[in-house]
Amino acid sequence: MSLPPLPDSALNLGAQARDWKHAVMLAGKALETSGAVTAEYAKRMVRVVEEFGAYIVIAPGLALAHARPGPDVHAEGLAVVTLADPVPFGHPHNDPVSVVIGLAVCTPEEHVAGVAALANAFNDSSTIDALAGATTPDEVRRILGIPEQVTS
């Protein structure tokens, strides 16, 4: 499986976040704006962190915000939020976070495949810093290996 499409509407570059909850909500809003999810999905992503902790901070500076498939997911979706000022999520080794990836999937199988595809995109240790410094949607897509597309 390749990564889902990444329309311009699913990107928020150089965002300001007050804290980790706000950063996750920004990723949820980007997924919502792209049409992949409803507003409820962002709230569920926050609850996942509240319940299970900062395990979504999967590498230094990188959080993978997501929740289980549910009725608030309309389509598989990907969002990228870069933060002007990194925020702590409470992870003992990988804080603070400067890049939040939002992932929405419709089935458990898509979840596993989506996480695997993202893991491949981040095999190169320079990817997180490159994303954090990206200034255009096309640059983000190039870094992640997502083909250019008609943007929304």
The residues assigned a catalytic role are: 66
Euclidean distance between CA atoms 15 and 125, whole angstroms: 22
Token pair in block for residue 53? 């902790």
Strand order in the sheet with 11-15: 11-15, 77-87, 97-104, 62-66, 57-59
The residues facing 12 across adjacent strands are 81
CB atoms within 10 A of CB 19: 11
- Calpha distance 139→151 (Å, rounded): 13
Residue 51 main-chain phi, psi, to 5 deg: -80, -45
Cβ neighbours, 10 Å, residue 5: 19
With CA atoms as reference, report the closest residue to 65 among 108, 29, 117: 29
User: DSSP class of residue 10?
Assistant: G
